[in-house]
Structure 1
Amino acid sequence: MNKKEQVLVDFRSLFDKLAWLNKNKMEVSLQGYQSSEVHCIEYIGKHVDANVTKLAEAFYMTRGAMSKVTRKLINKDLIESYQKPENKKEIYFRLTEQGQKVFTLHEELHEEFRQRDQVVFEEITDEQYDTMLRFIENYKQHLDTEINKLNHANNET
C-alpha cells in the first residue's frame, strides 16, 4: 500500500474508531433523537437564519429530505419556523427551549470527548497543524469540485 492509500485507509479507520467510541455515550445521552436530527439542531444552533436550502447544502441532502427532517423537529417542539418582516417568502428556523437543551447537551458531549482526546493534541506542533490543515483544505476543495461536477451532470439530465 502506498502512502496515499495509507492516508485514506487511516483517515477512515480514525473516524470509525472515533464514531464507535462516542456512539454509546451519544445514544444514551440523546436517546429518542436520531443522529440527523441532532446534527440539524446543531447546525441551527450555530447558524443564524438557517433555512431548508442551507441545511440541505450543509448535509448534502435534497431540500425535500431536509424538509422532512425539519418537520419532524417542529413536531417534536425542538425547532420553530419564522419569517422576517421584510421577506415573507423565506422560512427560517431557530431552536425552541427544548431544542436548545438538546443542542447544549450535544455540545457538552463533544467537549467531554475533546477533553478525553486532548493528550494527543498537546503533542502537535503549530507547523504540524498547519500541514494537516493545508492538506484537509486541499482535499475538501477537491471533493467540493467533484460534488459540483456531479450535481451539474445530474441537473443536465
Structure 2
Amino acid sequence: MNKELEIIEKAERILNIMNQSNKKPKDYGTGDVLYHSEIHTIEAIYNHKNVNASELSSILGITNGAVSQVTNKLIKKGLIEQYQSPDNKKDVFYKLTKQGEKVNTMHNEYHKKLYNKIHQYFSTSSENDIKAINNFLDWTILNWPKD
C-alpha cells in the first residue's frame, strides 16, 4: 500500500475514534454522566472566572442558543450556578458548584492519564520524528477544508 494513503487512512481512523468517543456521555467518577459539550462547558467556566453566556459562546465556538441549552442542563444537574454581579445587572454569569469543581478535577485526571501515555511515546522518539509529526499536524491544520 502507498505510504501516503496509509497515513491518510490512519488519520481518518483517529478522527473517527475521537468523534465516536465524543458522542458518548461519560462519567468521570462522580456519578454525573456528561456529554462532550457539557464537560467542556464546565472546563471553560472553571478556566474563565466570571464568564457570561456570550463569552462562553466565543470560547467554545458555539451559538448563544447552544450555550443556553448546555448551561440549563448543567444547572439542572447541579454542576453550575447562574448569578448576577452587583455591578452588572444585565448579564448572567456562571460558576461551578462544589460538585462541578469535583467533575472538572476528575476530567483533568482523565486527560492526565491520556497525556501521560502520549508523553511516554514521545519520550522515546527522536527530535526529527517529533519535528516531522508536528510539521504534518501544522500543515494539516492550515490546509484542512473549512466548509
Q: Same fold (TM over 0.5)?
A: yes
Q: Does 1:92 align with 2:117?
A: no
State the alpha-carbon separation in 2 of the partners of residues 3 and 49 from structure 1.
49
Correspondences of 1:6-21 after superposition (within 5 Å): 8-17=8-17
Residue in 1 aligned with 2:57? 56
The answer to whether the Cα contact below 8 Å between 1:41 and 1:99 also exists between their aligned partners in 2 is yes
**More strand by proportion, 1 or 2?**
2
**More helix by proportion, 1 or 2?**
1
23 and 73 in structure 1: CA distance in 2 versus 1, 3 angstrom threshold: closer
State the alpha-carbon separation in 1 of the partners of residues 63 and 32 from structure 2.
24
State the alpha-carbon separation in 2 of the partners of residues 41 and 85 from structure 1.
23
Structure 1 gap segments, 5+ residues each: 151-157
Residue in 2 aligned with 1:34? 34
Amino acid at match of 1:45: Y
> Does 128-137 or 77-86 show the bigger shift?
128-137
State the alpha-carbon separation in 2 of the partners of residues 119 and 39 from structure 1.
25
TM-score calculated relative to the size of structure 1? 0.66
Residue in 1 aligned with 2:102? 101
Amino acid at match of 1:82: Y
Report how many aligned residue pairs link the two structures: 145
The answer to whether the Cα contact below 8 Å between 1:79 and 1:94 also exists between their aligned partners in 2 is yes
Amino acid at match of 1:13: R
TM-score calculated relative to the size of structure 2? 0.70
Q: CA RMSD in A?
A: 3.6
C-alpha deviation, 1:106, in angstroms = 0.8
54 and 8 in structure 1: CA distance in 2 versus 1, 3 angstrom threshold: farther
State the alpha-carbon separation in 2 of the partners of residues 108 and 14 from structure 1.
22
55 and 132 in structure 1: CA distance in 2 versus 1, 3 angstrom threshold: farther
Q: Secondary structure at the match of 1:56?
A: helix
88 and 28 in structure 1: CA distance in 2 versus 1, 3 angstrom threshold: closer
C-alpha deviation, 1:58, in angstroms = 3.6
